[in-house]
Amino acid sequence: MKNKQGVIALLVAAGLVLALPALAAAEGTYRSFLGYDSRITIWLIAEIHLMFGAFVLGVPIFAVTIEIIGWKTRDARYDKLAYEFTQLLGGAFGFTALLGGLLTFALFGLYPKFMERFSEIFHDVMYIYAGLFFLESTTFYLYYYFWNRMADRKGLHIFLGVLLNVWGTVIMMVANSWAAYMMSPVGLDKETGQFIGTVWQAVNNPLWHPLNFHRFLGNVAFGGLICGGYAAIRYLGAKTPEERAHYDWMGYVGNFCAMCGLIPLPFAGYYLGREVYSASAVMGNNMMGGAFSWTFIIQAILIGGIFIGSNYYLWIGMHRIPGAERYTRYIKFIEILLLLCFAIWLTPHNLPLSAEEQVIVGGQYHPTLKYLGLMSGKNAVVNLIILLTFLSFLLYRRANLGDGIPFSRQGARSRGVLVGVAGLLSLIMGSYANFLLSLDPVSLDLPPETAKYFVLPAALLIIQIAAVVVTVVLTFWDRGKIAELFYCGVTTVNATFVLGVYGYVIMAVANPFLRNLAVTQWMILMSALVLVTTVDVFLFKGAAQVGEMNWGKMPLRSQYVLIAVCVFIVMLIGLMGFIRSGLREDWHIYAILQDASEGSWTPDNAVMAKVVSACVLVFLAAISFLFWLTGAGAKKPESPEQLVKGDTSKAASPPELLVTPK
C-alpha cells in the first residue's frame, strides 16, 4: 500500500514539474480558490507540506545515526529502534509528496504571473529538484524494504541511509534557495527588475545558507520530538511491561535527538536573523522591532516550554535509575536558574501597557527591565539555558554509574583523545581570537578607534584556552569532576556574565561587532559542551552500574510532557514559518515583484494564531493517522513470551522489535 502511495506521489510530482512551462503560460495575474483568500490557501498548504517535509528530513538523520551505533556496538536494540523510526517515515513520504504537488498546483493556479516570473529564473533547478526527489524516494524504499535482507551487509545498508540523508538535505537546500530568494533576491537589474544574473547566483542568495542551517537543525529537533510524542502515546497504550520499556526508551531517544538539534538552534536563529537584517534593514526592523516583534514573544514562550519540558522529562526519568538519588539534590538549583533565565528570555523590550501604566512607567520602556529585552540579555541567558540543559544530561548520564577507571590508568589512547580534543578546541578558539585582534574596524564600517572593543572577547577566548589546559591537567590528576565543574564555571562567567554585559556596551558603541561577540559566546559554550563531554566519557569509563535501568517505570505525567513538547514544536515551526514568509509583506519577491492581489495584506496576530492553529491541528491529525496506519500495518506478535524470548519465527517484522532494552 505504501509502495503504491509513494509511486503515485512520485508520478504526481514529476508530472507537475514537467508541466510547469505549460502552466506558467496561463493567462491572468491572480485567481482565487473557490472565492477564498489565495494567500491563506497557499499558507495552509505550504505550512503543512513544510511540517511533513521537516519530519521526513529530520527522522532519517537520527535513524541512521542510531543504526550506526547499533552496528558499532553490536547491540540489536539500536537496530530495531532505528527500524521503528524509519517505519514511521513510510506514509509521511507519500503525504509530503502529495502536498508538494498540491502546493505546486495551487501556486501555478492562484499566482500564474508570479510563478511565470519565478520559473524563468529557477526553471532548470526545478528539474533537478524533481530528479533529487526521485532519487531520495528510491533510496528510502531501498533502505526501508531491504533492512532485513541486508542484515549481513550492514555497511552497505548504512551507506544507503547516509545517501538518503544526502538527497534529503540537498532537496531541502534547493527548496530553501527558492524561499530565500523571495526574501533576498540577487542578480536583478535595478532599473527594470529583470533577472540578469545566473541561476547559481539566484540559488546562492544571501539568506540561503542561514536558512539551510536553521532548517537542518530545526528538522532534527522536530523529527525527534514528533517521534517522542509517538512513543509517549504508544507507552500510554502499552499492554505489557516489555512494550512500556521499549516505548519508554524510544521516547528518551527521541527527546535526546531533539535536544541535539535544539541546543545549537538559537545560534542558527541568531545567524539567520542577523542576515535578514543585513539583507534588508526594513525586514529586520519589521522582524525584531516592528509588526512581527510580538510573534517573537510567543516564540520565546514556546521555546521555553520545550526546554523546560525536555529537562522535566529528564528529571522525572532519573526516578527509574538506581543511584540517581546521589544527584537529584542538584535539580532544584538547575530548575531555579532555568526559570530565572526564561524570565529574562521572555521579558519584552517593548511592554504591553495600558494608558495609566504608560504614565507610571514613564514611557514605553521600563527603566530597569528594558535592558532584559535587548539582544545582549537574550544572548547571555540562552547560553546559560543551554549549559544548564547540558548539565541535566550529564546528571542523567552518570546517574547509575559508579566510579570509573582513574584516568591516570586508562592508557595512552584516552590521553591522546583528550589532548587531541583540547588541542583542537584551543586551535579553533585561538584562531578566532587572532581574527578578532587583527580585525579592521573599517571592514565593519566602524571608526578605527573602535578596535579597542575587540580586545576583550579575544582575551576571553585566550582565558578559555588556559581553562582548557587546566581542565586537561586536572583530569590527568584524576580530578575529572573538579575539572568539569571548573570549565563549566569559567564558561558561565565568560559567556554569560562578562560577554552578556559587554554586549550592551557593544550595542551602543560598535553595533556591527555584536555578531562577532555572539560567535565568541557560541564558541566558548560549544567548547564546554565538547570538552566536558569528552572528560565525562573518560571519567566513567569502565564504571560499574549501580543497578539496572528500570525502563518502563516512568509516571504517566512524563509521557504527557513528551506529548506537550511535541505539540509545542509543531506550533513553533508553524509560527516561524509565518514570520519568515510574512516578513516579505506584500511582495512576492522582496522589493522586486509586488503582490497586488486582494490577499496581500500582512495578517495580524489574531489571524496568524487561527491559521497556524489550523495547520497544527491538521498536521497532528494527519501524522496521527499515519502512525495509526503504521501500527495497523504491522503484524502483532502472538504472545508476550515471544517478545521476551525473541522467538523470531512468528513475531512481527523485524523480529524482536519489542525486546526489553536493558
Residue numbers 226-285 binding other proteins by CB under 8 A: 274, 277-278, 280-285
Shortest CB 272 distance to other proteins, Å: 13
Q: Write out the DSSP string of 142-176.
A: HHHHTTTTTTT-HHHHHHHHHHHHHHHHHHHHHHH
Shortest CB 134 distance to other proteins, Å: 40
Matching residue, cell 544526502: 166
User: What residues form DSSP beta bridges with 587?
Assistant: 594
Q: Helices 38-73 and 241-262 meet at what angle, rounded to 10?
A: 110
Shortest CB 339 distance to other proteins, Å: 4
The residue type at 126: M
Shortest CB 185 distance to other proteins, Å: 13
312 touches other proteins by CB under 8 A: yes
CB closer to other proteins, 392 vs 426: 392
- C-alpha 436/C-alpha 529 separation (Å) is 23
Q: What are phi and psi of 441, to 5 degrees?
A: -55, -30
Shortest CB 356 distance to other proteins, Å: 7
Euclidean distance between the first and the last CA atom of the chain, given in angstroms as a whole number: 35
How far, in whole angstroms, is CA 27 from its chain's centroid? 41
Binding piece for other proteins, criterion CB under 8 A, among 187-195, 360-368, 418-426, 611-619: 360-368
Shortest CB 351 distance to other proteins, Å: 5
Q: Which of 359, 419, 473, 596 binds other proteins (CB under 8 A)?
A: 359
Q: Which of 72, 326, 332, 645 binds other proteins (CB under 8 A)?
A: 332
Please give the residues from 401 up to 460 whose contact with other proteins meets the rule CB under 8 A: 444-447, 450
Q: Which of 29, 73, 364, 624 binds other proteins (CB under 8 A)?
A: 364
CB closer to other proteins, 591 vs 622: 591
Shortest CB 418 distance to other proteins, Å: 34
CB closer to other proteins, 97 vs 259: 259
Number of Cα atoms under 13 Å in the Cβ half of residue 424: 11
346 touches other proteins by CB under 8 A: yes
Q: Are 108 and 136 in contact (CB under 8 A)?
A: no
In sequence order, what E strands does 541-607 have?
587-589, 593-594
Please give the residues from 473 up to 492 whose contact with other proteins meets the rule CB under 8 A: none
- C-alpha 58/C-alpha 470 separation (Å) is 38
Indicate left, alpha or beta for 656 from its phi (over 0: left) and psi (-120 to 50: alpha).
Answer: left
Shortest CB 217 distance to other proteins, Å: 23
Shortest CB 345 distance to other proteins, Å: 10
CB closer to other proteins, 547 vs 633: 547
365 touches other proteins by CB under 8 A: yes
Shortest CB 95 distance to other proteins, Å: 34
CB closer to other proteins, 155 vs 367: 367
What is the SS3 assignment for 594?
strand
What is the SS3 assignment for 593?
strand
350 touches other proteins by CB under 8 A: yes
- C-alpha 113/C-alpha 56 separation (Å) is 31
CB closer to other proteins, 152 vs 191: 191
Nearest Cα neighbor of 531 from 659, 425, 654 is: 425
22: cell is 505549460
Shortest CB 350 distance to other proteins, Å: 5
CB closer to other proteins, 178 vs 342: 342
67: cell is 543504526
* Per-residue binder mask for other proteins (CB under 8 A), 367-406, x = binder: xxxx---x--------------------------------
Please give the residues from 574 up to 613 whose contact with other proteins meets the rule CB under 8 A: 585, 591, 602, 605
The size of the interface with other proteins (CB under 8 A), counted in residues, is 74
- C-alpha 119/C-alpha 16 separation (Å) is 13
The residue type at 356: E
Binding piece for other proteins, criterion CB under 8 A, among 333-341, 377-385, 566-574, 637-645: 333-341
CB closer to other proteins, 204 vs 450: 450
Shortest CB 331 distance to other proteins, Å: 7
CB closer to other proteins, 192 vs 368: 368
Which run of H or of E encompasses 78?
A: helix 76-87
Which run of H or of E encompasses 459?
A: helix 455-476
CB closer to other proteins, 290 vs 416: 290
Please give the residues from 123 up to 142 whose contact with other proteins meets the rule CB under 8 A: none
Shortest CB 355 distance to other proteins, Å: 5
What contacts 531, CB < 8 A, 6 or more positions away? 421, 422, 425, 468, 471, 487
- C-alpha 382/C-alpha 112 separation (Å) is 44
Nearest 5 degrees, angle CA 257-CA 221-CA 209? 120
CB closer to other proteins, 204 vs 602: 602
- Which of the 8 DSSP states describes residue 595? -
526: cell is 560549544
CA dihedral 475, 477, 482, 485 (to 10 degrees): -30
339 touches other proteins by CB under 8 A: yes
What contacts 646, CB < 8 A, 6 or more positions away? 655, 656, 659
Please give the residues from 283 up to 302 whose contact with other proteins meets the rule CB under 8 A: 283-286, 288-291, 293-294
508 touches other proteins by CB under 8 A: yes
CB closer to other proteins, 442 vs 455: 442
CB closer to other proteins, 450 vs 581: 450
Indicate left, alpha or beta for 247 from its phi (over 0: left) and psi (-120 to 50: alpha).
Answer: alpha
CB closer to other proteins, 196 vs 360: 360
- C-alpha 323/C-alpha 390 separation (Å) is 19
CB closer to other proteins, 208 vs 230: 208
Please give the residues from 516 up to 555 whose contact with other proteins meets the rule CB under 8 A: 555
